[in-house]
Amino acid sequence: MKTTTIRIFATFVAFLLTACEQPSPPPSSEQPPASAEAATTDIGTWLGTERLEAADTDTANWLAHGRTYSEQRFSPLTQVKADNLDQLGLAWSFDTQSTRGLEATPIVVDGTMFTTGTWSVVYAHDAKTGALKWKYDPQVPREYGYKACCDVVNRGAAVFEDKVYVGTIDGRLLAINANTGALAWEQLTIDPEKPYTITGAPRVANGKIIIGNGGAELGVRGYITAYDAQSGDQVWRFYTVPGNPAEPFEHPAMEEAAKTWRGGKWWEVGGGGTVWDAMAFDPELNLLYIGVGNGAPWSRYTRSPGGGDNLYLASIVAIDVDSADLAWHYQTTPGDNWDYTAVQQMILADIEIGGEMRQVIMQAPKNGFFYVLDRKTGEFLSAETYVPITWATHVDPETGRPVEDSAAHYLDDTKVVRPGPAGGHNWHPMSYSPNTGLVYIPVVENRLAYTQEQNFEHNPDTWNTAIDFRPNSDLSDDFQVVTKIVAWDPVAQKANWTHTHNHEAASGLLATASDLVFQPGANCEFAAYDAHNGDKLWSSQTQMGTIAAPISYEVDGEQYIAFVSGWGGASGLYTTVPCADGRRAESGRILAYKIGGTATLPEAPLTPPIPAPQPRLEVTGAVLEEGELLYSRHCGFCHSLGAGPGGVIPNLAHISADSLAAWDAVVLGGSRRNMGMVSFSHLLSLEQSHAIQAWVLEVANTAAEATSAGE
Ligand code: HEC
């Protein structure tokens, strides 16, 4: 019997897109009415195209997702510096009353902070006092939580002219009046019959709002759509992977892409290639850069058995933002086989390479290479590994193609590959300081055992990766997942310094012009480091694990550092990093710090002890085996099952007697539907549900016995 815990999904992430050509229908009338509370804001200044393009000189504000179009996430503010860090304190906090992940980057315009939370809720706050100006809850039906691979998170809003734009988990793009919090318009950007979700922040370019989506684990086709900012009318849609080649191609780039997909019926699963996080925009070149995700299914042996690069999976794609014509593309992982998305942040900078100023685009995608490309032409300049990898030996400098290592080919046998689907670096924002010339990357060193699923069949109601994850619970060595800050020199293509954390989960970073790097962490600690050498200069407890990145802004001559702090996200579904004092806040918060800040947080409750397991069921080995298989297919991507505390979704090993008695009502009857636990009656029979229950109790008891034997 297995003695190891099953929390193998702790590291996945990927999402993306598809196609729906029909005009967006109005939201379903069954949906509860959306709510806007307390309308009192005046954002003060008209945030138009000109001001957005000059965001870098607007030092007091954080006007766009990455502060400026270059997505550098660098604050030019210097009031908070090494000398006065000891006076850095909490200025204000706001309780979001949410128990799932917070990933947003707030936008600050002239004293108002716009941010988003769990289930795509939107907030406007006074950035100086933290007073709530308005809140807009789009009332996402909680069943949509099933479609979100990596928690019901939202990475932030965009602000343009007088509106705030947000994508919702159920695929809508909202335009909200920035002053009043009232809905101006909304568009359904997806086919609701397909498992699309939106977690990424929209971007603004030339009066258009651009939004992608996710869903490649369950199986969708990726695309981004541009909408007119004022009217909400669709301007264009750009698909990232070809649909059924028997049907007409939507644009010439799809005809080219289709030649690189061979055999297989990828369009039935969707093909993947979702644009679920990063975009960047160069107004001078008029190019929009999109980061494209992994294949659906993950296994290329299933997706495209005849080989081929499978364009434009795992690529950086440059598009003319007005015509939506493809300008160039660079594929980081041709024929992606490991969920190596290239959706990660792309930073635009002008840097000197070999004595010449180059306009570059830089990315540290999941696959472990740090890339520097010419952003005008897509020319490959350099790539080196920023974490240990085993899927490729190097990138050929002549062709710009990676040279794969056959040790990562898992068609016939299980192969343990580094990095795993969590990526060497994921969505957690990195930061580039033009002062130091370094890119500060939140990295995770990890791995996964990849096994080709035998007799894979597309099932539209669940995950469709064509990977059998079970062998991961058999890995018996003591491999440790490690999280670090890597300060990367993009010219020398090597680490300048590294800071290693003592926990396993990444979080976002901010560099400032006073040569500080800020990072709030999974371990409930908010810390500041010397940007030149990584020395830890300051830290403070936050009572809650953070995964998001900080921003900095100024109001009335005072500099603030702020972030949303709410544990969750992909690894947060199944794991929790403890806070140092054993206490933990029960819900997420927005936290803002300044020099001389004296606000305090109420004392957090002690984390409750782990309960003893409910007794095993008397069943045969065959039933347990079936339970294991079904659990790994349908439950393991949300729940954990083992000795640890689990994450924001319950660890089923710790199920109470009452919940166990309600098992059928929950699992088949959908009695917790409104909390995000859907009914599985369309996938499971009563016997199968009981087989899973037997497996859960088997693992729970085995884990508890192993823990007490080790004490
Ligand atoms: C999309 C994520 C997701 C998936 C997949 C999922 N669950 Fe859940 N499950 C949840 C959430 C969220 C809750 C917590 C609901 C609440 O707060 O009451 C939950 C709660 C439960 C509970 C109650 C636990 C308790 O301690 O009260 C049981 C039992 C359960 N799930 C079983 C299953 C089984 C069995 C499967 C696979 C067939 C499964 N779940 C798949 C999200 C998921």
Residue 344 pLDDT greater than 60, yes or no = yes
pLDDT one-digit tens code per residue, 559-611: 999 999 999 999 999 999 999 999 999 999 999 999 999 999 999 999 989 99
Cβ(239)–Cβ(290) under 8 Å?
A: no
Residue with tokens 């917790």: 672
Percent of the chain at pLDDT exceeding 70: 94
Cβ(669) – ligand 1 distance below 6 Å = no
Task: Place 45 in a pLDDT band, splitting at 50, 70 and 90.
Answer: low
pLDDT at 711: 63
Which has more confidence, 201 or 19?
201
Distance CA 636, CA 469 (A): 9
Q: How confident is the model at residue 33 (pLDDT cuts 50, 70, 90)?
A: very low
> For residue 357, what are its two tokens?
């100023």
Output the CA angle 682-688-691, nearest 5 degrees: 150
User: Of the CATH numbers 3.40.50.10790, 1.20.140.10, 3.90.1150.10, 2.140.10.10, which one belongs to the domain with range 8-595?
Assistant: 2.140.10.10
| pLDDT score recorded for residue 477 | 84
- How many angstroms separate the alpha carbon of residue 677 from the centre of ligand 1? 5
Residue of 191 and 33 predicted with greater confidence: 191
Average pLDDT over residues 190-196: 97
Q: What is the CA radius of gyration of the chain?
A: 24
Provide the pLDDT for residue 11.
31
Q: Does residue 282 have an active-site annotation?
A: no
pLDDT for position 709: 82
Among candidate residues 151, 336, 339, 468, the one labeled active-site is 339
CA of 197 to the centre of ligand 1 (A): 19
With a 6 Å cutoff on the Cβ, whether 675 touches ligand 1 is: yes
Does the beta carbon of 637 lie inside 6 Å of ligand 1? yes
Ligand 1 centroid to 639 CA: how many Å?
A: 7
Share of the chain above pLDDT 90, in %: 90
At residue 65, the pLDDT reads 98
Minimal-distance CA residue to ligand 1 atom 42: 677
pLDDT at 43: 53
Average pLDDT, the chain: 93
Q: Which residues contact 431 (CB under 8 A, 6 or more apart)?
A: 72, 73, 74, 439, 440, 509, 510, 511, 517, 549
Arithmetic mean of pLDDT, 1-28 = 32
Count of CB atoms situated within 10 Å of the CB of 434: 16
Start-to-end C-alpha separation, the chain: 21
pTM of the predicted model over 0.95:
no
Q: Whose CA is nearest to atom 17 of ligand 1?
A: 675
| Cβ-based neighbour number of residue 326 at 10 Å | 18
Q: How confident is the model at residue 339, as a pLDDT?
A: 98
Which residue among 677, 685, 688 has the greatest number of ligand 1 atoms within 8 angstroms of its CB, and so is best to mutate?
677
Domain boundaries, the chain: 8-595, 621-710
The single residue listed with the structure tokens 């500041």 is 528
| 432-486 pLDDT tens trace | 999 999 999 999 999 999 999 999 999 988 999 999 999 998 888 889 999 999 9
With a cut of 90, say whether residue 666 has pLDDT above it. Answer: yes
- Using pLDDT thresholds of 50, 70 and 90, give the confidence band for residue 246: very high
Q: Is 9 in the pocket of ligand 1 (CB under 6 A)?
A: no
Q: 478-535 pLDDT, tens per residue?
A: 899 999 999 999 999 999 999 999 999 999 999 999 999 999 999 999 999 999 999 9
Position 205 scores a pLDDT of 98
531 CA to centre of ligand 1 in angstroms: 43
Measure 679 CA to ligand 1 centroid, in angstroms.
9
Domain 621-710 fold? Cytochrome Bc1 Complex; Chain D, domain 2 (1.10.760)
Residue partners of 594: CB distance under 8 A and separation at least 6: 80, 88, 89, 91, 558, 559, 560, 561
Residue 635 in contact with ligand 1 by CB distance below 6 A:
yes
The pLDDT assigned to 652 comes to 98
Mean pLDDT of 259-271: 95
635 CA: nearest ligand 1 atom:
37
* Ligand 1 atom having least distance to the Cα of 656: 26
Ligand 1 center to residue 289 CA distance, Å? Answer: 38
CB distance 224 to 17 below 8 Å = yes
* More confident call, 40 vs 90: 90
- Report pLDDT for 25: 35
Does ligand 1 come within 6 angstroms of the Cβ of 657?
Answer: no
Mean pLDDT of 641-667: 96
Tokens in use for 407? 């040790």
